[in-house]
Structure 1
Amino acid sequence: MTQQHWDVIVVGGGNAGYSSAIAAKQAGAGRVLLIEKSTETSYPGGNSYFTAGAFRTVFGGLDDLLPILHNVDTETAKIIDMDPYTTQDFMNDLMRVTAGRADPDLANVLVNTSRETIDWLDKVGIKFRLSFNRQAYKVEGRYKFWGGMVLSVVDGGKGLIQQYHESALRHDVTVQYGTSLTGLVTDPESNRVQGVQVLLQQADGSCIKKILTSDAVILTCGGFEANPSMRAQYLGKNWDLAHVRGTPYNTGDGLVIAQRDVYAKTAGGYSSCHATCWDANTNPHKGDTIMTNQFTKSGYPLGIMVNRDGKRFVDEGMDFRNYTYAFFGKEIMNQPGSVAFQIWDAKTLSWLREEEYADDVVEKVVANSIEELAEKLATPNQKGSWKATLTSKQALVDTIREYNDAVVAHLDQHPNRKWDPAVKDGMSTQSEKKQLKLPKSNWALTIDQAPFVAVKITTGITFTFGGLGVDPETAAVLDTASQPIGNLYAAGEIVGGAFYENYPGGSGLMLGSILGRKAGTSAAKISAAQNESRR
């Protein structure tokens, strides 16, 4: 094996990895190497490439964000309604959706350093925009933002990785693709990390082993969402069948290696994950680098979802989409065949996002009556892509009839309520006259105007919540005695402790950047100290 020494080695080339590498250079590290398992042309950027590029942050209103925005002109700014999102709002949302299980120290770091990290990212070269297409509706001529999350990156995940890569090159970070982590090199007495062992892919397809020594190592190589056996082991029955939304390279290598080689502590919700409503006709093993996030199907608040037996199984209007989308995907996995159908009528079709529901993006079933829709959903098409079909046509007809009756009863009791997708409008299925066992709590409209449209969905897994335990202030990886492991840091999806069962949309990328910046800064300090001792 050949050897080569670096000041800092970052393992994994996504949001957290690039944040770490750039921060390390800014903090004075000399030679910084970022290694990435994928090749430069196949799945660069990890899961970050497949995101919508949303960042949840504290902010003081529109005026606070305008200096960093790249898609808001003066006239547009005049018709935007946007409430401030305070530290208390962020903390309340995080604790609410994780049932109070989020590690309080990690939660405080996430919430209280979010805004300053956004400014740092802006200076690094990440271009932000308001997420008009995902987090706002235009109601009566005004853009109304909802759910607290308003920022995304220009050109989404693709743009995020391109902008990071350009910034890394400007900061003189060396990026090396086709390099898989196989072990951590440690001092046998102190357990301090001294480098990494890797497999380096050659041009002819062969691999060679290498040892790369370094003063500090940062693990940013993701969770185990692309590993079917680990999904089944930790998440449970049927999870080996979930569709992978992003990179096929996040197979849990860093988690296993850190536990094996340095006795790293684990943290977070290992039995849970971020999983969303996903096009059932996608490749189950990897995301599409062209369509990326377009296979997400998040229009369910505008209609209803039913399982293969024709029954509703979630309250589609229980909260804003960005507080439910990472949770509802898991509910689909528990349904018969792990599939479901989203259904709308003519009243809400125009509100569906084109990037997710255009005719050339998703296969639709269209009908002029509920009975015809049920018949079509129960019949496989010639392509066979509807082979997991509706099992009971009458059950679907009865479900929609009962739902419609409940919506009408609610409107009879509350005739002045107005449907508004940008607020929790209280338009529900519950009234004194009629109550559904499973309500729709907001945005409930009758499904009774042709055309009727359905799409078939399944569970798309994004990232796993279980990971390594870290010190929230330094991003140092902890051992099983909760002590920092010398010279080893972590950031991104490989870190556990912040999310359980659910998460507030946009907080994953935010935490990855925060801990990445901390990890890079900490690693640079270690390198500086070791360089001084070698003089």
Structure 2
Amino acid sequence: MSENTFDCIVVGSGNAGSCAAHSAVESGCTRVLIVEKGPKEWVGGNGFFTAGAHRTVHGGLADLLPLVQNAPSDAAATIDMEPYTAEQFAGDIMRLGDGRSDPGLVQAVVDRSRDAVQWLADRVGVPFTFSFNRQAYLVNGRQKFWGGMVLSVEDGGKGLIAAHQRALEREGAETWFDTPAVSLIYDGESVKGVEVLRGGQPVRIYAPAVVLACGGYEASPKLREQNLGTDWVRAKVRGTPYNTGDGLSLASAVGAKLYGDFASCHSTCWDFNAPSDRGDRELSNQFTKSGYPLGVMVNANGQRFVDEGADFRNYTYAKFGRAILGQPGGFAFQIWDKRVLDWLRKEEYGDDVVEKIRAESAEELGDKLVERGLEDRDAFVLTLASYNDAVRTFREENPDKQWDPAVKDGLSTQSSRTSLELPKSNWALPIDEAPFLAVKVTCGITFTFGGLAIDPNTAAVISAQSSRPINGLFCTGELVGGLFYGNYPGGSGLTAGAVFGIAAGREAARLAKEQMSS
């Protein structure tokens, strides 16, 4: 069995693992190795499939303008962007997690978020942009940002991972592809390295620090069924097919503490016709279907099943996939009419991206949906009619309220005369003006919330027996447990991966220096 020695070993080539590698080099490591289970053409893990959204505390437009590449002075003059405070960020995570999120982890992510995105720009060269296409609406000539999250990356996750790869090459970090980690080298007190398979042969790699950044178990049907339930076998994998729970098994074998919400995950409205067991490297995040706040969603029985206007999209999309999966057949239809078609994002709803079902009336649309799985055409027509009646009645009673997708406008289905059992709380417009449009969606699973317990300051993995850090073992990215429960605010995942990746790399360098001096 061959052996190798490095200062730091990172398991996983995604955003979080790359951040750990950069930080390790920056902090003094001279030999850093990333081992990646997948082939080179699958570099980047789930980060590659994101929109590149990074949620961060910020002081408003002036604070972030120096960070972005797509807001020249003339464009900046038309932007409305409120500051996003630490209290708001922490409150959003805790609110969406029903107060269950680990306060220490939340505070670490929130308090270090602004420094992390600055570091990504300065150290890594991530080309940040304002997310005009996803997080702002053009209203009365003004770009109005909403939902607290404003930063993206040029070319989304593809651009993010490309920036990481360029930086890793500059830094001289090595990456071994097609190299699954099979066990940690552990002497009972410290993790000393990793045993991997390289070219099908076992190889022992030694280092004073190992950073696990290899994601959750969302690509394993067996573990999805075991932890999330039988319905989850049919969920579509949004990203890499290589996140099959390896980090959990590696860490559990050395006594790591499992932590967090193993019963839920990040899941979203996903194109029904997308691949089932992996993302598409070309279309990637374009399979997301996030236009539901502008219309309604109905199941195979022709019934609505969620409040599409309960909150801004980036506070609901990560849980609505689960809601769709629970419907008959595990699918739904998103429905709009002429009023809002121009507001749908072209990246998600372009003619070359999604199958569109068009009709000139609700009845004709129902007929066409029957061909695609709708089981009760009459119930569907009645659902739209009842919804439209409720919207019109509300507007008759509230003539001063104006539709505005950039704020919670209060345009509802609930009035003194007519109220639906399931409301639409905001952005409720009638759906009665031809042409009508529908798309078929299902559940896309992004990442799982249960993972490993870590120290919020150092990202060290915690021992289940001693409740103390396991020396030499760190964790970042989607493998961290305890941060998200049930739901999460969009853009938090990449930021958290950077925050804990930076910490893990810094601690890896400290251990490497201690070993050299001993």
Whether TM-score is above 0.5 comes out as yes
Equivalent residue, structure 1, for 2:204: 211
Q: Do structure 1's residue 428 and structure 2's residue 426 form an aligned pair?
A: no
Equivalent residue, structure 1, for 2:224: 231
Equivalent residue, structure 2, for 1:303: 295
In structure 2, how many angstroms separate the alpha carbons of the residues matched to 1:418 and 1:480?
54
Q: Do structure 1's residue 127 and structure 2's residue 111 form an aligned pair?
A: no
In structure 2, how many angstroms separate the alpha carbons of the residues matched to 1:434 and 1:410?
8
The share of aligned pairs that are identical, in percent, is 54
Q: Do structure 1's residue 514 and structure 2's residue 499 form an aligned pair?
A: yes
Deviation at 1:127, TM superposition (A): 1.3
In structure 2, how many angstroms separate the alpha carbons of the residues matched to 1:39 and 1:213?
22
Q: Do structure 1's residue 446 and structure 2's residue 430 form an aligned pair?
A: yes
Equivalent residue, structure 1, for 2:137: 137
In structure 2, how many angstroms separate the alpha carbons of the residues matched to 1:193 and 1:348?
56
Equivalent residue, structure 1, for 2:273: 281
In structure 2, how many angstroms separate the alpha carbons of the residues matched to 1:83 and 1:333?
35
Q: Output one character per residue of 1:52-97: Cα deviation in whole Å (capped at 9) or x when no partner.
A: 0000000000000011110111100000000000111111111111
Q: Do structure 1's residue 399 and structure 2's residue 391 form an aligned pair?
A: no
Equivalent residue, structure 2, for 1:529: 514
Equivalent residue, structure 2, for 1:177: 177
Aligned residue-pair number: 516
Q: Output one character per residue of 1:485-522: Cα deviation in whole Å (capped at 9) or x when no partner.
A: 01000000011010000000000000000000000000
Equivalent residue, structure 1, for 2:235: 242
Gap runs ≥5 in structure 2: none
Equivalent residue, structure 2, for 1:197: 195
In structure 1, how many angstroms separate the alpha carbons of the residues matched to 2:251 and 2:92?
31
Look up the SS of the partner of 1:238 in the other structure: helix
Mapping of residues 25-424 of structure 1, within 5 Å = 25-41=25-41, 43-124=42-123, 125-187=125-187, 189-190=188-189, 192-201=190-199, 207-260=200-253, 262-379=254-371, 386=372, 389-424=373-408
Deviation at 1:295, TM superposition (A): 0.3
Deviation at 1:22, TM superposition (A): 0.5
Deviation at 1:278, TM superposition (A): 0.2
In structure 1, how many angstroms separate the alpha carbons of the residues matched to 2:468 and 2:57?
31
Deviation at 1:222, TM superposition (A): 0.3
In structure 1, how many angstroms separate the alpha carbons of the residues matched to 2:98 and 2:19?
29
Look up the SS of the partner of 1:277 in the other structure: strand
Provide TM-score, normalisation by structure 2: 0.99
The residue type equivalent to 2:480 in the other structure is V
Deviation at 1:256, TM superposition (A): 1.2
The residue type equivalent to 1:299 in the other structure is G
Deviation at 1:126, TM superposition (A): 1.0
The residue type equivalent to 1:15 in the other structure is N
In structure 2, how many angstroms separate the alpha carbons of the residues matched to 1:525 and 1:172?
19
The residue type equivalent to 1:243 in the other structure is K
Equivalent residue, structure 1, for 2:14: 14
In structure 2, how many angstroms separate the alpha carbons of the residues matched to 1:237 and 1:304?
27
In structure 2, how many angstroms separate the alpha carbons of the residues matched to 1:394 and 1:62?
49
The residue type equivalent to 1:432 in the other structure is S
In structure 2, how many angstroms separate the alpha carbons of the residues matched to 1:255 and 1:170?
31
Gap runs ≥5 in structure 1: 202-206, 380-385
In structure 2, how many angstroms separate the alpha carbons of the residues matched to 1:267 and 1:429?
40
Look up the SS of the partner of 2:209 in the other structure: strand
In structure 1, how many angstroms separate the alpha carbons of the residues matched to 2:357 and 2:350?
13
In structure 2, how many angstroms separate the alpha carbons of the residues matched to 1:89 and 1:139?
24
The residue type equivalent to 2:196 in the other structure is V
Deviation at 1:208, TM superposition (A): 1.5
Deviation at 1:237, TM superposition (A): 2.1
Deviation at 1:29, TM superposition (A): 1.1
Deviation at 1:3, TM superposition (A): 0.4
In structure 2, how many angstroms separate the alpha carbons of the residues matched to 1:361 and 1:336?
25
Deviation at 1:238, TM superposition (A): 1.0
- After superposing on structure 2, the runs of 4+ consecutive aligned residues of structure 1 that deviate more than 3 Å are none
In structure 2, how many angstroms separate the alpha carbons of the residues matched to 1:318 and 1:195?
48
In structure 1, how many angstroms separate the alpha carbons of the residues matched to 2:363 and 2:154?
43
In structure 1, how many angstroms separate the alpha carbons of the residues matched to 2:96 and 2:160?
26
Look up the SS of the partner of 2:6 in the other structure: strand
In structure 1, how many angstroms separate the alpha carbons of the residues matched to 2:442 and 2:496?
27
Equivalent residue, structure 2, for 1:383: none
Deviation at 1:119, TM superposition (A): 1.1
Look up the SS of the partner of 1:92 in the other structure: helix
